[in-house]
Amino acid sequence: MSQAFTFDLQAQDGQARAGILHTPHGDIPTPVFAPVGTQATVKAVTPRQLQELEVMLILANTYHLYLRPGDALIAELGGLHRFMNWPGPILTDSGGFQVFSLAETRTIDDDGVTFKSHLDGSIHRFTPERSIAIQENLGADIIMAFDECPYPYGQESNEKAVLRTHRWAERCLQAKTRPDQALFGIVQGGVYPNLRQQSAEFLTALDFPGYAIGGLAVGETKKEMHQTIELVNSILPENKPRYLMGVGTPEDLVNGIIRGVDMFDCVAPTRLARHKAAFYRNGRLNIMRAEYKDDPHPIDEACTCYTCQNFSRAYLRHLVLAKEILAATLLAIHNLHTLIQLVTTIRKEILNHSLEAFLGEINKPVSEPVGPI
């Protein structure tokens, strides 16, 4: 691992881990949840608000920033940190998931992928080398190897995807030139244990500074997800960070952490906010329910976020009905706070070796305060 990047594993409680990932733009205590800033912005939330929420890591998207405004322009303007005025660590994905989700408008071969822009239909091509060059222009602290996300989700497509992912991982390592970026490999293989084992062992031998588990949260059952995480983490090295891509509900964070995951990202908190929903303890709260129209309670009386300390369900429902932009901001603040405080608290419990008791408490049924109807 580059001297700019080290990972200190501080404690374990069962399989759950607490550590610190050191990067050029600051330390990342783990477990960590990273909000998604697809277009170099976390939707509806300012960088200052993210700092107040104690966000430690942000994810930005290579595919979208390559298309608009362009990675060369971002490099010319000082890189992604300066462009979006974010002083902390940034992770960029490789663009692979977005490219492969364009199933009807892309063509794959062993060298790379040719695809049509979803913006204007123009033709573009990503190879492992091109993905790394774009991410080097963007200048994130953590970058991802260009992998194949199999589609459709079957064994034959996964077998081919694993082989391509491995060849492309080797090419990404060869293409990387910046010492101030950490390149993570991505384990693929769907829900097929033999493929996941093969992928984890192959990538571990390449000695990446960190590893991601890709290709989950795409339609498999929770049991399949959990079994896959357990298998992969039993193979990945203990002294490297482990990143579960695209997962970010309270339940999934807990289930990932107790199985040895260190890093998470997901669009869920901000996407739910734009769809009038808030995380509520063991579930979700739809702020549009009629009984909230004159409810003076906050979303969650136990929550210490800015939204819950200052605004009622009735006010939030009014903002949503009036289509006010502030609704998305206040709900996003609450949802992000919920996830960040959850992983922060779990980290403390791991350090204290008291995680089991804590999880027993948060899994108890809770009643919801009901305002006047």
Q: Domain ranges for the chain, please list them.
A: 6-272, 277-362
Q: Catalytic annotation on 265? A: yes
Q: How far apart are CA 264 and CA 127, in angstroms?
A: 25
Phi/psi at 181 (nearest 5 deg)?
Answer: -125, 140
Q: pLDDT at position 373, please?
A: 27
Q: Which residues pair with 213 in a beta bridge?
A: 187, 244
Quote the CATH superfamily of domain 6-272.
Queuine tRNA-ribosyltransferase-like (3.20.20.105)
Q: Catalytic residue among 71, 262, 265, 300, which?
A: 265
Which helix (DSSP H) or strand (DSSP E) does residue 73 occupy?
helix 71-76
- The CA distance from 341 to 308, in Å, is 14
**What pLDDT is recorded for position 372?**
35
Catalytic residue chosen out of the listed positions 13, 71, 93, 147: 93
Taking 70 as the pLDDT cut, the residues of the chain under it are 1-3, 151-152, 365-373
pLDDT for res 367: 55
- 71 catalytic residue (yes or no): no
Residue 243: per-residue pLDDT: 98
**Class of residue 57 by CB neighbours under 10 A (exposed 0-12, middle 13-18, buried 19+):** buried
pLDDT of residue 149: 84
pTM equals: 0.95
Q: Give residue 65's pLDDT.
A: 97
Q: What is the pLDDT of residue 369?
A: 53
Model confidence pLDDT, tens digit, residues 308-317: 999 999 999 9
Which region, left, alpha or beta, applies to residue 217 given φ > 0 means left and ψ of -120 to 50 means alpha? left
Q: What is the pLDDT of residue 365?
A: 61
